[in-house]
């Protein structure tokens, strides 16, 4: 019985020595996987909002809210101007969400994704209707985002 007890004690010791690092490794891998799934969920949500915005642009083709600006801006009714304002505010909110999300990330792949957003933001900041709406509503957005936007305009 003494010999069996010693073998069991050695076995327990070996399991503890090897089991603990394996358990820690598995735990860390699970945490990484969960973090990546949350990130993908966030990116998917942002993509979904952007697709919804594009659908709004298609639903209101007479408004100057699509990526390609009109060569000649059409005359809009007061109601259409409000619709255009609302859609542009949605676009600004999506830009803000993208900005805040990508500022938290430092990975190179994330930086490459942000560059596309940065280019699009710059293009929109060159459009008169967008700048007018931004100037009216910018105080409602995150200060870091406002600073970023204002620096892009300069």
Q: Tens digit of pLDDT for each residue in 85-114?
A: 999 999 999 999 999 888 876 566 677 788
Please give the model's pTM, rounded to 2 decimal places.
Answer: 0.74
Angle of CA points 86, 87, 92, to nearest 5°:
95
Q: Tens digit of pLDDT for each residue in 48-82?
A: 999 999 999 999 999 999 988 998 888 999 999 99
């Amino acid at each position: 019985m003494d010999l069996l007890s010693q073998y069991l004690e050695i076995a327990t010791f070996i399991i503890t020595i090897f089991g603990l690092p394996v358990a820690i490794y598995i735990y860390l891998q699970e945490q990484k996987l969960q973090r990546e799934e949350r990130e993908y969920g966030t990116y998917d949500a942002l993509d979904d909002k952007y697709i919804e915005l594009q659908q709004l642009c298609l639903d209101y083709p007479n408004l100057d809210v699509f990526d390609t600006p009109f060569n000649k801006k059409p005359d809009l009714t007061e109601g259409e101007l409000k619709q255009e304002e609302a859609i542009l505010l949605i676009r600004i909110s999506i830009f803000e969400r993208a900005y805040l999300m990508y500022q938290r990330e430092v990975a190179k792949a994330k930086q490459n994704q942000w560059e596309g957003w940065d280019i699009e933001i710059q293009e929109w900041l060159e459009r008169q209707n967008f700048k007018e709406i931004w100037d009216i509503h910018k105080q409602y957005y995150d200060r870091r985002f406002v600073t970023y936007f204002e620096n892009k305009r300069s």
